[in-house]
Amino acid sequence: MIRLIKKENEIDYILPFFAQEKYLKTKSTIYGWFVSDKFILPFILFSTYIFKRIVFTTETINKNNSTIEEELAFLENMQNYIKKNHICDFIHKPQPSAIFRTYPKNANAFKWGTFQLPINSDFDDMLTRVSSSQRKYVRHAIRDNISITKTDNFEEVYTLCNETLSRQKIQLQIDKEEFAYQYKNLHPDNMIMFKATFEDKVQGALVIFFDDKTAFAEYAGSVPRPKNGCLKLLHLYAMQYLAQNHNLTNFDFLGAVPDIKEDSKEAGIQKFKREFGAEIKEGYQFTVIFKPVKYFLFNLTLKMHLRLKGVTYVDPVERDRRLSKSRLKV
């Protein structure tokens, strides 16, 4: 049986970071968890004008090492629960952190993945795992006295990360109010920021969320032509710091197209992640449309709104399909 829980203290289970209430409430005022005896699925709900959409922030949390068949049944029941109780008009693309093992049968399912790697406090050990072609640039950055430091200047970090997204032509950029709220409520216990500086000029910045096991690379930004090796050094220093000071053992780059087209700009970003020795974890994501007319109107409204800002909107799933050799076919 599916239950809808609205308070984390009613859940007798230790949740990963992106499923915790303190994170969910930084994204939306409406959030909760679909819960059964075996599974938990956190969500945030956005209510905009006449549209209600759910976004999952993690994959299904498996409480008892249950089977994929049992997880499929849970997802089917969850979908029926949403439909029966008119909770939303559609389930939108999940956050990059959600890598599902399976998906409901009538959902719009597609491949998804993320790059992960183990981390430790031995900088030299992690450097040996970096591809040989990039290792020399990191060493050059060290010799050039690139400075990597923690920073509390969220205005500077926000601006740099947002300018980078704009330069990459990412449609929906970071909401400043949301970022400030996250800084106020998550920093420094679950949020930390680093920057790379060369000759008093910031080259790059990195925003990381973390729980007691894993660090998540939430946002990153750089100047248009950063000093060679400094962004690799920035990440390596952050990994070492988090392993040394927070006993973390895993680093997640958050999101990847498994079979990305090699000539795309995004392939270069994924190559950057792979060069640390990271391996891809593959699975699925899915969307479900309960009310097709509302879904059509939502996309039309969003397209018109962004067009006024000079931005061409593409559905996020379709955008990722265009980057995939197989169009993310499952």
Of 255, 219, 251, 224, the closest CA to residue 238 belongs to 251
Look at residue 171 and tell me whether its pLDDT is greater than 70.
no
Look at residue 233 and tell me whether its pLDDT is greater than 70.
yes
Phi-psi region of 116 (alpha: psi -120 to 50; beta: other; left: phi over 0): beta
> Tokens at residue 170, please?
């990412």
CA 199, 200, 202, 205 torsion: positive or negative?
Answer: positive
Which pLDDT tens digit goes with each residue over 32-74? 999 999 999 999 999 999 999 999 999 999 999 999 999 999 9
Q: Give CA–CA dist 251/313, Å, rounded.
A: 31
pLDDT at 306: 86
Using the structure block, give the residue that is written with the tokens 């894993």.
214
pLDDT at 168: 79
Using the structure block, give the residue that is written with the tokens 């060290």.
142
Q: Are 102 and 71 in contact (CB under 8 A)?
A: yes
Which pLDDT tens digit goes with each residue over 178-218? 999 999 999 999 999 999 999 999 999 999 999 999 999 99
Q: What is the pTM of this model?
A: 0.95
